[in-house]
Structure 1
Amino acid sequence: MSAPDTSIASENSREVAADVLVVGSGSAAAAAALRVAVGGLSVVMLEKTDRLGGTSAMSGAGIWVPANHLARAAGLEDSPEEALEYLRSASPEGWRASEDPLWASFVEAAPRMLAFLETHTPLRFALTREPDPMAERPGGKEVGRMVSPHPLSRRLLGPLARHLRRSTLQHLFTYQETIGVDPYHSPVKAALKLAPRLLHRIATDSRAQGNALMTGLLRGCIDAGCRIELEARVTDLLTDEHDGGVTGVVVERAGSTRKITAHRGVVLAAGGFDWNTALRERYFPGPLDRLGGPRANEGDAHLMAEKAGASLERMDQANVFPCLPTRYEGRPHGLPMTFQAEPHAIMVDRTGNRFVSECDYNIGEAIDRRDPTTGESLHLPAFVVADSRFLSQSPTFRWYAHYEPDWIVKAPSIDELARRLELPADALAATIARFNSFCARGRDLEFKRGESLWETKKFGGPAAQLKPIERPPFLAMSFNRSLIGTKGGVRTNPKGQALRPNGTVIPGLYAAGLTMANPIGTRALGAGTTLGPNLTWGFICAESLILDSRCAPSPTITC
């Protein structure tokens, strides 16, 4: 089915009103637009670039949805109550006081969201075999909460297909296939094993992961009657002079500026602020390796919301994840990839000491740990330190490392490596000796590397992970913060409504995805606790808008 041309606004479009305006085009934005449209309201999606899908289109599309219908069909027991218990037990200390109402809203809506997407889009999801990263905590599950989409042909988007944002990841493989055949370590073997289906995907322009997710969501939006405008940059929010409520937006497009009225409300779902240098350096001071999201994530929506009176919170939270160097759209970029959890390698901080299990899913949280008084980083700069066998373990790593020729530092001895890294030589030597003794013992007595359910299932347990560092030349590479997306933003209530600093609602303003103050921050409680909540909060915002009685006179709405 081809997309109707009306889904792309003409250059001279002077449309001045809609029931709901959605700023952004990623998973949260599309989920909101789709739910609103299916609910009978008119909706316009405004994307500031000429590429649709945002960070979600670039993602691996692992999606954390507790108590979902796929798990139930597979005979796996779960419930919103158990998911809420897990969120409470696994989240950072102190978060429950402010986030518990939002967690409760999320676990109730998430299963309905997933079923809704399978009903109203071409998307079909499948379970992955992954456990919760902290499955041992109360409410945790060994399997059943992680899903990812089957491949879809990008041709489903018709004229919009060429505008779907491409990824630095290889979306020919499904999320499940990347786990099963491991193209990171064995790219040729993986490609040969799946050759027939990969060739079919190439022939049909079918892709998996984030491109499949956004193809399906956008197709659903088009079928439901959503209007999509590209290169439509929202520069300001229109507000009511009496109650301060948001009544529309100001849009720059094709060299002209116009106002669009929102009869019901505006949903801000325009990504994070990782590419806004001033904001990023304010909230993430210290060494930065790479950024893995679209360069359009500049915090526009955050700044507009703040100007309209919204409270910005959790601004120091982000998806902090290892990234390899690559190029994207002709410029240096980050490729999300867990490359530090390899045998014959450890991570050390600026003191030359280990500070976390190298296989910990929340290694980003450890990297980002800060002094509670000064806010300064406790560990950065940090490094992966390994012996010569590290480079032989993945041709993929070697390929991407060539994009930064000076990234890998080599030395004939540990002392010389320490000197080149400006680390205390005695401390680094002692750390490596201690780690090697753990390898001989078969157990990491410091950080229990490989022992958790997550680390056992994902990385093979201690037997596979505890391999000594002893063969020269020795090598190291920086392992500082890399950001896939920031997760702080507009403080909302359980309905997705934006709040002022005094806790009152800003009528007509909603936020979702990486634009909201996400109730699941830097500490990821599942491999998909960015996308799962993003989709769900877009869905929640839409359901709130459908029920919202606040509306201005409109030919399409009965007030």
Structure 2
Amino acid sequence: MTWHYDADVVIVGAGGAALAAAVAAVHEGRSVLLLEAGSQPGGTASISGGAFWIPNNSLMRAQGLTDPRDDALKLMARLSYPSLYDPAATWLGLPKREYDLLTAFYDNGSDVIDELTQLGALYPYIYPGFGFSPSPISDPDYHAGLPENVSPYGRVLGNAPPGLVGWPGFLLTQSMIDWLDARNVPIRTGHRVVDVLQKQNGEVVGVDIDHNGARKRAKARRAVVFATGGFAHARGKMLGLQRGPLFGTGSVPTGKGDFLDIASKLGAAIGNLSNGFYFQLSVEEAAAQDGHVTNLGAIAFSVYGDSTILVNKYGRRCVNEKLPYHVRAQSHFLTLGTDEPNLVQFMIWDEAVAQEPTPWPWRGVVPAPGSLPPFVIKANTRAELAAAIEARLDALRGQRFAASAVVPTATLDPSFVTNLEDTITRFNAFAQAGVDLDFQRGATSFENAWQGPSRSVTGNRTMHPISTTGPYYAVILGAGTLDTCGGPITGTNGRVLRPDGSAIPGLFGAGNCIASPAGRGYWGAGGTLGPALVFGFLAGRNAAREPIHPL
């Protein structure tokens, strides 16, 4: 057999999990080769917010903060497996493997980040608050309101390597890329791995590569680690496997689920395929970009504004607008019989919000004053706004998205304008009282901190009456996924497992290409990258400790 490349550890992908795996394997004294399908390294991590959620990290402890193990595990279990979680049960009600993954993350997370720091591959800091947090250290966790979250400050870290300037995701990945470059570790871009090579006993000893139409092979003397991201750009998989109607993704275009296909052929156990990390996006922007939405101005991570609401096709509020994006976006998934009333939602705000001048990182689809992107609708009256929304919906019909469409039933109900008037009247009464009796908007420290600037004169910073006169603004929102998080099941050491729990020899996985240790959960800001870095590092270290495979 002809080998074009060889290394002790072959790592497939070059995003956050892959780079952490590479650093770990190099630190073990092994030779490493990274194979990246895209034209440049970094993956989806490089275009992300660059935050990573690490419980009980050494930086928060240095600030005098504690993060007790039992409480942190309860928080993660509740968010990851809400239909199984029982604080009084063995393993908190979870299957043992799922519980063990949570404990492995807590037990190893801080040490992994410390080791990456000591090596000079990361330069972490606690993400500071943006000005409205109860704590001087950081903004509260997304799920600060849960009783299990006894340590809601300081878990979210960022990376600030000296001499580097740029987007936070770039700073995270480039920091590790520079570390690898300094040690002459090759990262071969434009190399899509299409299969693995095995010995007769099933041991994985290399990979098959497509490089500009030519077939190449790379030998892995010890192990192969896959960290190739999810399948958000594979429409067939999205439609067949994801549970929600999804209009787009923020992941890089190379994410087509290659490892899911490869590992399935090897007999790997598969899990968590129906879950992802969700957010809301402009449906019109998704249409213009063929579902690949990376423009932050078209993404509603936060529903900006104190007089901003979300309504469905009936003109009624359908969710607490200030919930974390992963939770809020799942309100689109509601099905009532054959009706999907929230398939698309309409974010509506008034002139006061439109003219709010504060530079705020989470304005999202609400542009700064003086700007009006094409996906923002403006009208002088509520009736005119409804007519303009309907016209935009009609223009979107017939186009297919990641796993959804603006179907004929996604139209404004005849009662939309009347109901919208009633909805605004009711909301305004809540705003004047400072209590949202319908969705409890503003009841948590997270919601109030992420509100940003506010005109409220009550204790609830998230609500102010909507103006009785126009102009009004709207954006058509749909659910999207930052990436999927299902695939082959792995153990705490990163080994890919078969249904009987045995490991496929020589094969490891980490990141969004595997069944996420977080299950359904998104633990906080950086809830994707925290597990990616930690389990990527562990997979790389354990792969490097594999014995050499005799061929």
TM-score range, shorter chain: 0.7 to 0.9
Residues 249-302 of structure 1: CA distance to partner in whole angstroms, max 9, x if unpaired?
A: 001225431222222221110111111122122234765444222111222222
Aligned partners of 2:270 and 2:338: how far apart in 1?
A: 18
Q: Please state how far the C-alpha of 1:345 moved relative to its aligned partner.
A: 0.8
**Which residue number corresponds to residue 429 of structure 1?**
421
RMSD (CA atoms): 3.1
132-141 or 333-342, larger mean C-alpha shift: 333-342
3-state SS in 2 of match to 1:123 = coil
**Which residue number corresponds to residue 158 of structure 1?**
none
- Structure 1 length normalisation: TM-score? 0.79
Q: Please state how far the C-alpha of 1:408 moved relative to its aligned partner.
A: 2.7
- The correspondence for 2:45, drawn from 35, 44, 56, is 56
- The correspondence for 1:138, drawn from 130, 148, 152, is 148
CA contact (8 A) 2:302 2:324 kept: no
Residues 316-336 of structure 1: CA distance to partner in whole angstroms, max 9, x if unpaired?
A: 21221234649999x864425
Q: Please state how far the C-alpha of 1:58 moved relative to its aligned partner.
A: 0.8
**Which residue number corresponds to residue 134 of structure 2?**
none
Aligned partners of 1:122 and 1:515: how far apart in 2?
A: 23
Return 5+ residue gaps in structure 1 as ranges.
Answer: 1-12, 155-205, 555-559
**Which residue number corresponds to residue 315 of structure 2?**
352
Aligned partners of 2:499 and 2:335: how far apart in 1?
A: 23
Give the letter for the 1:531 counterpart.
L
**After superposition, where does 1:127-526 map in structure 2 within 5 Å?**
127-128=126-127, 129-135=138-144, 136-153=146-163, 206-242=165-201, 244-284=202-242, 288-323=246-281, 325=285, 333-335=294-296, 336-367=299-330, 370=333, 379-393=342-356, 397-398=366-367, 405=374, 407-418=375-386, 420-421=389-390, 422-423=412-413, 424-425=415-416, 426-459=418-451, 463-469=460-466, 470-526=468-524
Give the letter for the 2:305 counterpart.
E
Give the letter for the 1:391 counterpart.
A
Aligned partners of 2:229 and 2:184: how far apart in 1?
A: 23
Aligned partners of 2:499 and 2:121: how far apart in 1?
A: 41
CA contact (8 A) 1:266 1:508 kept: yes
Residues 153-172 of structure 1: CA distance to partner in whole angstroms, max 9, x if unpaired?
A: 45xxxxxxxxxxxxxxxxxx
Q: Please state how far the C-alpha of 1:467 moved relative to its aligned partner.
A: 1.4
Give the letter for the 1:398 counterpart.
P
Give the letter for the 1:436 counterpart.
N
Return 5+ residue gaps in structure 2 as ranges.
Answer: 86-92, 128-137, 391-411
**Closer/same/farther in 2, CA of residues 255 and 283 from structure 1, 3 Å limit:** closer
3-state SS in 2 of match to 1:347 = strand
**Which residue number corresponds to residue 29 of structure 2?**
40
Residues 423-451 of structure 1: CA distance to partner in whole angstroms, max 9, x if unpaired?
A: 33233332222111101211111222122
3-state SS in 2 of match to 1:266 = strand
- The correspondence for 2:549, drawn from 543, 546, 552, is 552
3-state SS in 2 of match to 1:322 = strand
**Which residue number corresponds to residue 402 of structure 2?**
none
3-state SS in 1 of match to 2:206 = strand
Give the letter for the 2:313 counterpart.
R
Identity %: 29
Q: Please state how far the C-alpha of 1:533 moved relative to its aligned partner.
A: 0.7
4+ long deviations beyond 6 Å: 326-329, 372-376, 399-403
**Which residue number corresponds to residue 27 of structure 1?**
16
Q: Please state how far the C-alpha of 1:504 moved relative to its aligned partner.
A: 2.9
**Which residue number corresponds to residue 3 of structure 1?**
none
**Which residue number corresponds to residue 7 of structure 2?**
18
- Structure 2 length normalisation: TM-score? 0.80
Q: Please state how far the C-alpha of 1:365 moved relative to its aligned partner.
A: 5.0
CA contact (8 A) 2:318 2:331 kept: no
**Which residue number corresponds to residue 534 of structure 2?**
536
CA contact (8 A) 2:281 2:478 kept: no
Q: Please state how far the C-alpha of 1:224 moved relative to its aligned partner.
A: 4.4
Q: Please state how far the C-alpha of 1:401 moved relative to its aligned partner.
A: 11
3-state SS in 2 of match to 1:359 = coil
Q: Please state how far the C-alpha of 1:14 moved relative to its aligned partner.
A: 5.8
Give the letter for the 1:130 counterpart.
D
CA contact (8 A) 1:364 1:481 kept: no
Aligned partners of 1:294 and 1:366: how far apart in 2?
A: 20
**Closer/same/farther in 2, CA of residues 393 and 486 from structure 1, 3 Å limit:** farther
Give the letter for the 2:13 counterpart.
G
3-state SS in 1 of match to 2:309 = strand
**Closer/same/farther in 2, CA of residues 210 and 328 from structure 1, 3 Å limit:** farther
**Which residue number corresponds to residue 187 of structure 1?**
none
Give the letter for the 2:105 counterpart.
F
Residues 77-128 of structure 1: CA distance to partner in whole angstroms, max 9, x if unpaired?
A: 2244432132123332226524211111111111111001111125311112
Residues 223-272 of structure 1: CA distance to partner in whole angstroms, max 9, x if unpaired?
A: 44532211111111112333x33221001225431222222221110111
Residues 382-405 of structure 1: CA distance to partner in whole angstroms, max 9, x if unpaired?
A: 121222333223687437997962
**Which residue number corresponds to residue 8 of structure 1?**
none
CA contact (8 A) 1:150 1:208 kept: no
**After superposition, where does 1:65-84 map in structure 2 within 5 Å?**
65-84=54-73
Residues 164-214 of structure 1: CA distance to partner in whole angstroms, max 9, x if unpaired?
A: xxxxxxxxxxxxxxxxxxxxxxxxxxxxxxxxxxxxxxxxxx225111111
Q: Please state how far the C-alpha of 1:132 moved relative to its aligned partner.
A: 2.0
Aligned partners of 2:214 and 2:369: how far apart in 1?
A: 42
> Is 2:113 the counterpart of 1:114?
yes
Give the letter for the 1:467 counterpart.
H
**Closer/same/farther in 2, CA of residues 377 and 216 from structure 1, 3 Å limit:** farther
CA contact (8 A) 2:74 2:148 kept: yes
CA contact (8 A) 1:263 1:552 kept: yes
Aligned partners of 1:508 and 1:16: how far apart in 2?
A: 17
Give the letter for the 1:537 counterpart.
F
Aligned partners of 2:335 and 2:384: how far apart in 1?
A: 34
341-350 or 500-509, larger mean C-alpha shift: 500-509
Give the letter for the 1:361 counterpart.
P
Q: Please state how far the C-alpha of 1:374 moved relative to its aligned partner.
A: 8.5
**Closer/same/farther in 2, CA of residues 102 and 58 from structure 1, 3 Å limit:** same
**Closer/same/farther in 2, CA of residues 398 and 451 from structure 1, 3 Å limit:** same
Aligned partners of 1:489 and 1:368: how far apart in 2?
A: 24
Give the letter for the 2:177 counterpart.
L
**Which residue number corresponds to residue 133 of structure 2?**
none
CA contact (8 A) 1:286 1:380 kept: no
Aligned partners of 2:4 and 2:371: how far apart in 1?
A: 49
CA contact (8 A) 1:334 1:482 kept: no
**Closer/same/farther in 2, CA of residues 53 and 427 from structure 1, 3 Å limit:** same
**Which residue number corresponds to residue 97 of structure 1?**
94
Give the letter for the 1:31 counterpart.
A
Give the letter for the 1:346 counterpart.
I
